[in-house]
């Protein structure tokens, strides 16, 4: 066990949906139907995650509407639905990412197991261990387009890293991310000068990062998601899912997946290179403009950051690679799923995308650790996976400055 004062400070950045969000409804909020007025009419309430918000179809529709974003073409940015205010609790602490629903304390989909393991080697919350939750509905944007919420988060994350270093004898910081948090952190590094990275970053450890997007995202855009709860109508949640900007960023990247058919119908194949046509075909025309103008340029911003990087990934788990729709109604019938290697959600090609992306940057230190049978969420809770993560954290701490 390492002594706390010898450890480099560590900042945890969760994945998409990996921390709590709160909301409040303002007087001008208009529910999707008047009869669906939500009971949380006053004050802040936890909207992610509170399972009581999914008890019936009316509650689910309210939830989906209140958590949705909309693209404002005049501002060229995404915003909350009018009348809905949101905030991220517990920034700087691990409190908001240990459990999504603290009333249930289900650690199977959150960071509690990992946090406890870090505490066992000497880390202490808000002393040398910090959490950086965020509003995961928002994405950064490329090509000079504004992204107010996500850009503000990167500023807050930078300040947290600097504060963590100052509180710990100016030691540089280890940033440990899960999934989508890895994408945001790579942009944090690349949007700050090299002197800042050298001064404040000891190591970047990315768990299960979807560097090249996720094929299964296309299926969820088509059919929605039950969020792992049997009573949830996936088509109700689909509208909120489509209107989450970050989900556009997680669609398969052209550079990673090329022209390979990912969704196949009787009359058309859809690959990562014709994603705009795919969005039109599934009836999500409003997603086309922001995808083309904001997301596609963002996908080119994957430069090597010049700090040591370790990717820890799960392999050997069946992961959807192609969805075959053979019915006459195109997307009406459940598809045949062709699977390949990955972590059950993120495809192996995406998990390994940095190896090819940085192949011409020999000065970039990149290590990839593959953990057989570790799943995308399970890497945070499976004992054999968490043991490997802790081993790497200790290894990084043992490397002289």
pLDDT tens for 142-168 read 989 999 999 999 999 999 999 999 999
Mean per-residue pLDDT, 323-341: 91
Give the pLDDT confidence score for residue 1 in this predicted structure: 44
Residue 350 designated active-site: no
Domains and CATH numbers, the chain: 4-14+91-398 (3.40.50.1820)
Residue 376 designated active-site: yes
DSSP-derived pairing of the beta strands 201-207 and 366-372: unpaired
> What is the residue-averaged pLDDT of the chain?
93
Residue 343 designated active-site: yes
Q: Kindly indicate the confidence band of residue 115, based on its pLDDT and cuts at 50, 70 and 90.
A: very high
Give the pLDDT confidence score for residue 275 in this predicted structure: 98
Residue scoring higher pLDDT (107 or 311): 311
Options 8, 65, 178, 376, the catalytic residue: 376
What's the longest Cα–Cα distance across the chain?
Answer: 65
- Contact status, residue 211 vs residue 187, Cβ threshold 8 Å: no
Residue pLDDT, tens place only, 285-316: 999 999 999 999 999 999 999 999 999 999 99
For 24, residues 6+ apart whose C-beta sits below 8 A from its C-beta are 40, 42, 43, 44, 45, 84, 85
pTM of the model: 0.96
Options 179, 208, 223, 246, the catalytic residue: 179
């Amino acid at each position: 066990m390492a002594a706390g004062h010898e450890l480099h400070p560590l900042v945890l950045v969760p994945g998409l949906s990996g921390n709590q969000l709160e909301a409040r409804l303002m007087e001008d909020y208009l529910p999707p139907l008047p009869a669906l007025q939500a009971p949380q009419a006053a004050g802040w309430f936890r909207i992610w995650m509170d399972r009581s918000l999914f008890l019936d179809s009316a509650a689910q529709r309210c939830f989906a509407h209140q958590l949705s974003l909309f693209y404002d073409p005049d501002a060229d940015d995404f915003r909350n639905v009018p009348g809905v205010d949101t905030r991220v609790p517990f920034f700087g602490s691990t409190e908001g990412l240990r459990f999504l629903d603290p009333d249930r304390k289900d650690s199977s989909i959150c960071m509690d197991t990992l946090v406890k393991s870090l505490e066992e080697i000497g880390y202490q919350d808000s002393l040398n261990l910090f959490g950086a939750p965020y509003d995961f509905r928002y994405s950064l944007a490329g090509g000079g387009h504004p992204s107010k919420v996500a850009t503000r988060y990167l500023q807050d994350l930078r300040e947290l890293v600097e504060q963590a270093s100052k509180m710990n004898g100016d030691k540089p910081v280890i940033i440990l991310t899960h999934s989508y948090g890895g994408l945001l952190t790579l942009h944090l590094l690349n949007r700050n000068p090299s002197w800042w990275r050298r001064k404040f970053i000891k190591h970047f450890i990315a768990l299960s990062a979807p560097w090249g997007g996720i094929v299964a995202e296309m299926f969820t855009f088509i059919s929605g998601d039950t969020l792992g709860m049997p009573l949830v109508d996936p088509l109700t949640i689909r509208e909120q899912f489509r209107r989450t900007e970050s989900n556009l960023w997680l669609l398969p990247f052209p550079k990673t997946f090329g022209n390979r058919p990912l969704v196949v119908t009787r009359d058309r194949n859809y690959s990562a290179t014709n994603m705009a046509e795919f969005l039109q075909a599934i009836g999500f025309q409003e997603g086309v403009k922001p995808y083309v103008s904001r997301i596609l340029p963002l996908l080119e911003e994957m430069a090597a950051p010049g700090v040591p990087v370790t990717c820890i990934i799960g392999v050997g788990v069946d992961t959807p690679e192609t969805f075959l729709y053979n019915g006459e109604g195109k997307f009406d019938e459940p598809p045949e799923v062709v699977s390949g290697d990955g972590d059950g959600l993120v495809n192996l090609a995406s998990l390994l995308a940095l190896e090819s992306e940085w192949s011409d940057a020999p000065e970039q230190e990149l290590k990839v650790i593959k953990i057989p049978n570790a799943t995308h969420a399970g890497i945070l809770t499976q004992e054999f996976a968490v043991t490997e993560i802790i081993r790497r954290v200790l290894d990084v701490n043992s490397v002289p400055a």
